[in-house]
Amino acid sequence: MRADASTTPDQACPIAPVVDLVFSRWTTPILWALNEFGRQRFVELERRIGSITPKVLTQRLRQLERDGLITRTYHAEVPPRVEYEISDLGRSLAPLFATLADWSTANLPKVEEARSAYDSGS
């Protein structure tokens, strides 16, 4: 189907909303960490991801909870404890991440070669 002038970007590329949802700057590392290592507290996620700020991690976790990709469990104890876990909906992305990891292993060296060739003017 060819896009015309009235076609929205979402209609032109049906995966665009998924890319926006899943592949924003910090979403992928958060989902990957929760899928690979299971339920975690905020500090554990922060350590695993490394360079993310607490403010940004809080924002992304809230958005992922809103989107239904993670669950947040509050434990009313002293001190209070909050844990994050990937939801079934978030876990359904695991095959996509596995495919991308396989593609990355097989093709990132080729991408680097292409960049080097381009940058050197060859």
pTM: 0.79
Give per-residue pLDDT as tens, 72-84.
999 999 988 999 9
Please tell me the distance from the alpha carbon of residue 98 to that of residue 28, in angstroms, as a whole number: 12
Please tell me the distance from the alpha carbon of residue 102 to that of residue 122, in angstroms, as a whole number: 28
pLDDT of residue 53: 94
Please tell me the distance from the alpha carbon of residue 82 to that of residue 30, in angstroms, as a whole number: 16
Give per-residue pLDDT as tens, 69-120.
999 999 999 988 999 999 999 999 989 888 988 999 999 999 999 999 999 9
Please tell me the distance from the alpha carbon of residue 100 to that of residue 98, in angstroms, as a whole number: 5
